[in-house]
Amino acid sequence: MKTKFVSITINGRQYSVPEGEKIIAVCREAGIDIPALCYLEGISEEASCSLCVVEVTGAKTLLRSCVTAVSEGMEIFTGSPRVQNAIRINLELILADHPLDCMTCDSDGGCQLQDLAYSFGIKTSRFLDPEKVLCKKEKTSWDTNPFIQFTPAKCVLCGRCVNACSKQAVNDVIGFAMRGHGGKVSTPFDRGLEQTDCKFCAECVQACPVGALIE
Ligand code: SF4
Ligand code: SF4
Ligand code: FES
């Protein structure tokens, strides 16, 4: 089938893009960076981090660019004060129960959350809840193998590992035990990874944007 193109503007500049493409994809194709923690092109579209928000003329609210498709005449703004402010707040909300021990974290220098916080000049969170941070577990019962380590305290529940296991490893070994606050990544019956069909391919580790899953 022939691809239909639509005409849109991004930050005032006109582009002709395939109809139905996600805003985040066309922005990135145009060289415009969109912050995103939970989105992994073709693999994960959980729409849970709300860092990818953009302003679209006529829309009442900011839109998550990872799940919003482009349409004819769309006017998109990625760097307006409203967008920047929302991203900053959403980052601080993610950091509200995240241990701020970047300097000693195994992912120091390779963590997308750390990079985003740095680029938005965020050193701590206005919403930081030390009790919540302490409540988050350092270890989990299914982390008994010597190859892949999981630190729930660092997990931002983005879902990328779950989708990577399902779509890249085609294995469905890990999933969400619950959603929202109190949610966690787990294996069936919290069994150790070595007691599941896990192939230790590490696709989940590669997909993790923070230091929650490491080899
Ligand atoms: S190592 Fe591979 S098979 Fe095992 S949980 Fe991770 S993605 Fe799934
Ligand atoms: S372990 Fe990593 S990839 Fe998986 S949900 Fe947590 S932060 Fe996301
Ligand atoms: S990247 Fe869009 S909500 Fe996370």
Q: What is the CATH number of the domain that holds 49?
A: 3.10.20.740
Q: Where are the alpha helices (DSSP H) in 21-111?
A: 23-29, 81-95
What's the pLDDT score for residue 110? 85
What's the pLDDT score for residue 140? 80
Residues 121, 185 within the same domain:
yes
3-state helix, strand, coil in the chain (%, to 5): 30, 20, 55
Residues 206, 123 within the same domain:
yes
Give the C-alpha separation, 114 to 121, whole Å. 10
Give the helix/strand (H/E) hosting 64. Answer: strand 63-64
Distance 201 CA to ligand 1 centre (A): 6
Per-residue burial over 110-147, b = 16 or more CB atoms within 10 Å of its CB, e = otherwise? ebbbbebbeeeebeebeeeeeeebeeeeeebebbeeee
Residues 69, 110 within the same domain:
no
Query: How many domains does the structure of the chain reveal?
Result: 2
Give the helix/strand (H/E) hosting 134. Answer: helix 130-135
Instruction: Give the residue whose CA is nearest to atom 2 of ligand 1.
Output: 201
Q: What is the pLDDT along the chain (215 residues), one digit of tens a residue?
A: 788 999 999 999 999 999 999 999 999 999 999 999 999 999 999 999 999 999 999 999 999 999 999 999 999 999 999 999 999 999 999 998 888 888 788 888 889 999 999 999 998 888 887 777 766 666 787 888 889 999 988 999 999 999 999 999 999 999 998 766 678 899 999 999 999 999 999 999 999 999 999 99
Give the C-alpha separation, 54 to 79, whole Å. 8
What's the pLDDT score for residue 129? 78
49 Cβ inside 6 Å of ligand 2: no
Residues 161, 203 within the same domain:
yes
153 Cβ inside 6 Å of ligand 2: no
Q: Which ligand is nearest to the CA of 214?
A: 2
Residues 108, 200 within the same domain:
yes
What's the pLDDT score for residue 164? 97
Question: Which residue shows structure tokens 């929202």?
Answer: 180
Query: Within 10 A of 40 (CB to CB), how many other CB atoms are there?
Result: 22
8 Cβ inside 6 Å of ligand 1: no
201 Cβ inside 6 Å of ligand 1: yes
Q: What is the CATH number of the domain that holds 103?
A: 3.30.70.20
- Residue 62's domain comprises 5-77
Residues 39, 118 within the same domain:
no
185 Cβ inside 6 Å of ligand 1: no
Distance 126 CA to ligand 3 centre (A): 21
Residues 121, 63 within the same domain:
no
Distance 2 CA to ligand 2 centre (A): 37
Q: Is residue 42 part of a domain?
A: yes
204 Cβ inside 6 Å of ligand 1: yes
Retrieve residue 3's tokens: 């691809």
